[in-house]
Amino acid sequence: TPIEETLVLVKPDGVARNLTGEILRRIEAKGYSLVDLKLLQADRELLAEHYAEHEGKPFYEPLIEFMESGPIVAMRVAGNRVIEGFRVLAGTTDPTTAAPGSIRGDFGRDWGLSVQQNLVHGSDSPESAARELALWFS
């Protein structure tokens, strides 16, 4: 299998809580390679493109507002089956039920904040990865 690349985002909650290093540590410990990285404040246009599949859902607006609320760390990460593998490192979407040992399971907070504050994003398929990497690292 050819080496894959995926887009990882440390969302505004992850950056604000100083978890960027811990998240990158886990990515590197798993054997994946960092190809590119930047800290940026995402604008609405970028976020609307990024989350186009969720437009019209009840959580869409709060999600975009949250993603606009502070700096994001975007990473291009490479490795064998990294798209699927990073999703396992991240854990399932809802931090309450994400497995312990995963990023969301270990650091997701359970004091009443929304599901959207789940620390990281990872592309969910080769098609998504190609689309999202072009968007964030054009």
Positions marked catalytic: 121
In this complex, which beta carbon is closest to ligand DAT, that of residue 41 or of residue 93?
93
* Backbone region of residue 20 per phi and psi (left: phi > 0; alpha: psi in -120 to 50; beta: other values): alpha
DSSP code of 53?
Answer: G
Where do contacts with ligand DAT occur on this chain (CB under 6 A)? 54, 59, 63, 93, 114-116, 118, 121, 124
Q: How far is the CB of 21 from Mg ion (least distance, A)?
A: 24
For residues 15 and 114, give the distance between their C-alpha atoms in angstroms, rounded to a whole number.
Answer: 17
The SS3 call for residue 135 is helix
Site size with Mg ion, rule: CB under 5 A: 1
Was 59 annotated as part of a binding site? yes
The SS3 call for residue 4 is strand
Was 137 annotated as part of a binding site? no
Contact call for residues 76 and 138 (beta carbons, < 8 A): no
In this complex, which beta carbon is closest to Mg ion, that of residue 84 or of residue 124?
124
What does the per-residue mask of binding to Mg ion show for 107-126, with x meaning CB under 5 A?
-----------------x--
Q: How far is the CB of 59 from ligand DAT (least distance, A)?
A: 4
Was 26 annotated as part of a binding site? no
Q: Give the count of beta carbons closer than 10 Å to the beta carbon of residue 24.
A: 18
Q: Would you tell me which residues interact with Mg ion (CB under 5 A)? A: 124
